Amino acid sequence: MAVTDKAKGAKGVSAFLVDRDAPGFSIGKIERKMGLRGSHSCELVFDDCQLPADAILGREGDGFKIAMQVLDKGRLTMAACCLGAMEKLIEVSKAYAKTRITFGEPIANRQAIQWMLVDMEISAYAVRNSVYHAAWKLDRGERVTKEAAMVKVLATEAANKAADSAVQIHGGMGYMKGTAPERFYRDLRLTRIYEGTSEILRLLVAREMLK
């Protein structure tokens, strides 16, 4: 994205496809992240980068519009990913609770563990139906800006809570490197930040509600 007309504000932003070998473009350092380490993030450096006229995506001034068009789908996709993570966390937590023996019986027999599992299941049920409903509306060609924002907040916050519960259920083992709860705990934290932070999405929903 680059500003092609400062006087037009958001309508003066244009989108470009930049070839890796474009003059003036280079890739900087690879960032080290807390989680999602299988997905590399790196600095992109533009130093008097020169692009041909046909590098523009869409029309001049469409950059912001193009970005907004992909956000609804991206937020729904993020929510669906969080649902999958929750389902896996429930699966591994149930299996561990059934096999971890303390004081002569599985910890799955203890009400404190059962309630954590139940809360994870209830949250996953709510997220699943919310994701499916918003995706159904999108498939019908309806505008889902508000729904996508709500579902993204619901799913990401529920998934982070599920990861925390999974670590708790696994006890000390859940804190160890290489275990599913530990990895999910780190990976899911970013979901509340990218594709729109929970805070900005709440502002978006408020704006949609109060139109």
The CATH number of whichever domain residue 205 belongs to comes to 1.20.140.10
Residues 101 and 29 in one domain: no
pLDDT band at residue 28 under the 50/70/90 scheme: very high
pLDDT at 93: 98
Residues 53 and 78 in one domain: no
DSSP letter for each residue of 29-93: EEEP-SS-TTS-EEEEEESS----GGGEESSTT-HHHHHHHHHHHHHHHHHHHHHHHHHHHHHHH
Contact 144, 134 (CB under 8 A): yes
Residue 208 is inside which H or E element, if any?
helix 198-209
155-189: per-residue pLDDT in tens?
999 999 999 999 999 999 999 999 999 999 999 99
Residues 95 and 189 in one domain: yes
The CATH number of whichever domain residue 15 belongs to comes to 2.40.110.10
Question: Of 60, 121, 142, 195, which residue is the catalytic one?
Answer: 195
Contact 159, 141 (CB under 8 A): no
One-letter amino acid at 200 equals I
The tokens describing 25, both together, are 């473009």
The tokens describing 164, both together, are 């925390």
Rounded to whole angstroms, how far apart are CA atoms 85 and 159? 7
Residues 134 and 196 in one domain: yes
pLDDT at 10: 85
Residues 39 and 74 in one domain: no
Residues 81 and 176 in one domain: yes
Establish if 176 belongs to a structural domain: yes
* Residue 70 confidence (pLDDT) above 90: no
Residues 127 and 86 in one domain: yes
Rg of the Cα trace of the chain? 22
Instruction: State which residues form the domain around 34.
Output: 2-57
Establish if 126 belongs to a structural domain: yes
Establish if 62 belongs to a structural domain: no
Establish if 6 belongs to a structural domain: yes
Residues 128 and 205 in one domain: yes
Establish if 27 belongs to a structural domain: yes
Residues 195 and 108 in one domain: yes
Give the total number of structural domains in the chain: 2
Residues 6 and 47 in one domain: yes
Residues 37 and 84 in one domain: no
The residue from 17, 33, 57 where one domain ends is 57
pLDDT at 68: 81
Known catalytic residue: 195?
yes
Residues 85 and 130 in one domain: yes
Establish if 180 belongs to a structural domain: yes
34-44: per-residue pLDDT in tens?
999 989 999 99
